[in-house]
Amino acid sequence: MTSDAVAAVRAAVAAINDRSIGDRAAELLDPSFVRHDLAELFGDSQGPAGASDFVSMIISAMPDFRLDIEDIFGVGGRAAVRLQMTGTHTGAPLLGQPARGRRLSASAVFIYRVADGRLAEAWQIVDGLAFYRLAGLIEQQDQNITAHSNP
């Protein structure tokens, strides 16, 4: 049996992948929704509009961005999901850096609180190192990581 929390997370991931999140944010997210960015890459988002704007920013930078669920489970009003994020930075700047055509492959773990069938709160941790590599802020060379300052 699939919990309501798992179904709510699957619906939100599908809406991101099919690009309907902007139209469906109010349906899928509680009005008081808060996204906690535990990696502090992009900052927190509040409300359906804030979450939709965040996803739009990511998609404008990586038009082929998608989330693939690798593992998901839920109990009561909570769900945890392990995801793989992929995309190619060919669009708008990301983390202050112009597109360089680099491919992103990053792991993430999200924990959600669900209320009345809608996502009410999210705690998200992503592989920040993968995003920094994508933006060209760091590069990996023979197991050594070299940091770059903004040009």
Which residues contact residue 151 at a Cβ distance below 8 angstroms, ignoring those fewer than 6 apart? none
Is 139:133 a contact under the CB 8 Å cutoff? Answer: yes
Report the 3 state secondary structure along 2-50: CCHHHHHHHHHHHHHHCCCHHHHHHHHEEEEEEEEECCCCCCCEEHHHH
For residues 47 and 75, give the distance between their C-alpha atoms in angstroms, rounded to a whole number.
24
Domains in the chain and their CATH numbers? Answer: 4-147 (3.10.450.50)
Tell me how crowded residue 34 is: count the other CB atoms within 10 A of its CB.
Answer: 18
Both tokens of 45, joined, read 């988002």
Is 8:119 a contact under the CB 8 Å cutoff? Answer: yes
pLDDT the model gives residue 1: 44
pTM above 0.75, yes or no: yes
Straight-line distance from the first to the last Cα atom of the chain, in angstroms, rounded to the nearest whole number: 52
Both tokens of 151, joined, read 């040009």
Average pLDDT for runs of 10 along the chain of length 151: 86 98 95 95 94 96 97 96 95 92 93 97 92 78 50 46
pLDDT the model gives residue 134: 79
Give the distance from CA 71 to its chain's centroid. 15
Is 104:89 a contact under the CB 8 Å cutoff? Answer: yes
- Amino acid making up residue 29: L
pLDDT the model gives residue 145: 45
For residues 49 and 42, give the distance between their C-alpha atoms in angstroms, rounded to a whole number.
15
